[in-house]
Amino acid sequence: MGGVLAIIFLFSNLLLLPDASFSLPLCTDSSAPFTLNTTLGFCPYNGKTCCNSTEDLQLQKQYEAMNISDSGCASLLKSILCAKCDQFSAELFTVTSAPRPVPVLCNSTVSTNSSQSKQEINDFCAEVWNTCQNVSIKNSPFAPSLQGQAGVTVSSNNTKLTDLWQSKTDFCLAFGGSSTDDSVCFDGDPTTLSNTSIPSPPHGLCLEKIGNGTYLNMVAHPDGSNRAFFSNQPGKVWLATIPEEGSGGILELDESNPFLDLTDEVHLDTQFGMMGMAFHPNFAQNGRFFTSFNCDKVTWAGCTGRCTCNSDVNCDPSQLQPDNGAQPCQFQSVIAEYSVNGTASEPSLAKYATPSEVRRIITMGLPFTSEHGGQILFGPKDGFLYFMMGDGGGGGDPYNFSQNKKSLLGKIMRLDVDNIPSEAEIENLGLWGNYSIPKDNPFTEDAELQPEIWALGLRNPWRCSFDSERPSYFICGDVGQDLYEEVDLITKGGNYGWRVYEGPYLFIPPTSPGGNTSLKSINPIFPVMGYNHSEVNTNEGSASITGGYYYRSQTDPCMYGRYIYADLYAGAVWAASETPENSGSFTSSKIPFGCAHNSPIQCSSVPGSTLPALGYIFSFGEDNRKDIFILASSGVYRVARPSRCNYTCSKENVTALASPNPSTSPTSHASQLNGSHNNVVLLFSSFLLLLLGVL
């Protein structure tokens, strides 16, 4: 049988524990496995694998060079070498500092989670020892020196396991691993996860309304407190205190005193504004944070950047037709750095930031006036800044920017904003601004890629997030054109198909002045979930996905571990379950939602229905307690306990979580909060009709 879910406990300091975040199909270079049309010639892998024919041939040569005379041992060593082709090879091989020479060998009984049956796995490590202990192996991969022991060297001569290790116990302490249900170990065959039945969708999602303001971004305060930053499209950021769930409280936010006001720099129009904000992982020490916004070079001298339609990508700006009255690259996307240093005794105490830029990170001129993304996030493990950029608009990506490896449009970029190169270095490297390139960005494997690029082939990534429990799960909603809205698991160097594909469907562009990309020249990664436009009914006759979060709060235990996302126009919400767990295979269900009867602010209802009228769902947010928030045109909503909407959840302890008795009436709360913010609701509505629609 294949390897089963397991956390690898290595009982020696020869090896370091792999990060549990690798529990989805990933190759050792952090890229996604790809699908082969045929079986490899040497290694017994077909379907999804991490090896191409060249790598398969290299493994065959390595195997033949071992010159193993015993057929039983040779068969085991072949399977161990070929584990590098396994779609879970990142989990099988990768340690904290460097890949292992061999995978973690299963050598224990695994007790799987409640949705799986208890099963025995082969004591594969003992089998390898018993079969190979007295067999000569040239250039043995089991040499202690390969495991980090100082002062031990192994020649290229034939060696036996008994020459290298004193006993089977010592051998399996170094190379074996016990198992639970969060990782995988290798038992001699391609890894398979135990099948589980698809869990039933939750009965419903209960919401409480805690704010009337209209926001596009929410970021939890890096200090771990119950505070969060909210920003709106015109360019203001507020620092708010979040009340306890069920307490009857509302967002504590002083509208008249924003944390930051960039309205003089931000160009506000239906398609433009402040798109994102991100706080440095060490904000509590260095006070650094970043914003992403659009500017107009006609009205602001600071809006100066290179046009993304340029000679490097075979695009001539003079040939572009004016878009909605705007000239090519009149509007630009900006990432700028700001600071709270000097405004308080320590960054966490700061109530406002200095509005002048500390540093301009990047400025990019936009060819058209739509599909320019703009979200920014710091990776939770690597500390690098991820920048989500759409294809630049124009309808059908006419210049094929998303597939052009020299263009930054239709890409997710990964930037190092801690190591700023000199102006000479920036010019020599051809960078777009003040940042450096992480050394493990995928251009190291694909020299044709611009070094900033982490992933490509996206149309307009709208709201991405990292799973707080499994940081390797980097997931994005990507807006479709005419047919399909998709959710993608983003991996290093991944190509998500646009505009060769729209979701899982072939796409025929209406015009192609920038040329086409052939179907056979790419290896697309298809969406893990999504929906056809025909599945949702909207007044606008269109659909546009809003990516969300993995739910990791205990507020609704029946929602735990599911990915929540929505449609902007339809006000529809989906919850997706991964089955088997950690497989990267998802099943989505549209779920009903309601408003808590004791919501701090009363929810308006959809005419003729008891459903709350959320309006347009612009974005999601997550606080430091992992509660999930919906940022909608009608206000701010938080996922509440199911019982508050009379939804049944067998995992909820209703007795221990008695319903609160709010001390303030919903009506009085509604009159207190964010009144003047409502004047931007109509602007937001038209903004996302164009920005996230099918233009």
Phi/psi at 356 (5° precision): -85, 140
pLDDT for res 38: 81
Write the CA distances from 687 to 429, 477, 480, 541, integer angstroms. 36, 18, 17, 16
Alpha helices for 405-518 (secondary structure H): 423-429
Q: How many CB atoms lie within 10 A of CB 445?
A: 12
Contact 594, 645 (CB under 8 A): yes
Q: What CATH architecture applies to the domain 205-691? A: 6 Propeller (2.120)
- Please report the pLDDT score of residue 548 as a whole number: 98
Pairing of strands 105-106, 176-177: parallel
pLDDT tens digits for 260-318? Answer: 999 999 999 988 999 999 999 999 999 999 999 999 999 999 999 999 999 999 999 99
Q: What is the rounded CA–CA span in Å between residue 695 and residue 693? A: 6
What would the pLDDT profile of 185-215 be if each residue is shown by its tens digit? 899 999 888 777 778 889 999 999 999 999 9
pLDDT for position 581: 86
Tokens of 22: 């690798």
Read off the amino acid at residue 260. L
| 137 Cβ neighbours under 8 A, 6+ residues apart | 66, 67, 68, 73, 77, 158, 159, 160, 161
What are the boundaries of each domain within the chain? 20-177, 205-691
Number of H helices, E strands in the chain: 10, 34
Structure tokens at 412: 């997710």
Length of the chain: 695
User: Is the CB of residue 210 less than 8 Å from the CB of residue 249?
Assistant: yes
> Tell me, what DSSP letter sits at residue 284?
H
Q: Is 635 helix (H, G, I), strand (E, B) or coil?
A: strand
- Answer yes or no: are the C-beta atoms of 570 and 556 closer than 8 Å: no
Q: Angle at CA 556, nearest 5°, toward 202 and 637?
A: 100
Residue 71 sits at φ, ψ, to 5 deg, of -65, -40
- Position 114 scores a pLDDT of 30
For residue 25, what are its two tokens? 């199909």
Tell me which residue has tokens 């041992």.
73
String of DSSP letters for 38-96 = S--SSS---SEES--HHHHHHHHHHHHHH----HHHHHHHHHHHHGGGSTTHHHHHB-S
pLDDT at 624: 98
Which residue stretches of the chain have pLDDT < 70? 1-23, 94-98, 108-121, 145-156, 178-182, 539-541, 655-695
- Please state, in angstroms and as integers, the Cα–Cα distance from residue 495 to each residue in 355, 437, 628, 662, following that order: 37, 20, 29, 50
How many whole angstroms separate alpha carbon 375 and alpha carbon 95? 31
Q: What is the DSSP string of 148-211?
A: T-TT----SSEE-HHHH-S-HHHHHHHHEE---SSSB-B-SS---PPP-PPPPPPS-EEEEEEE
Write down the pLDDT at residue 687.
Answer: 45
Residues 230 and 250: beta-carbon distance below 8 Å: no
Structure confidence by residue, pLDDT tens digits, 310-351: 999 999 999 898 888 889 999 999 999 999 999 999 999 999
Nearest to 427 by CA among 544, 306, 290, 575: 306
Cα gap 219→244, rounded to integer Å: 17
**Rounded Cα distance, 251 and 555, in Å:** 18
Tokens linked to 38: 């045929």
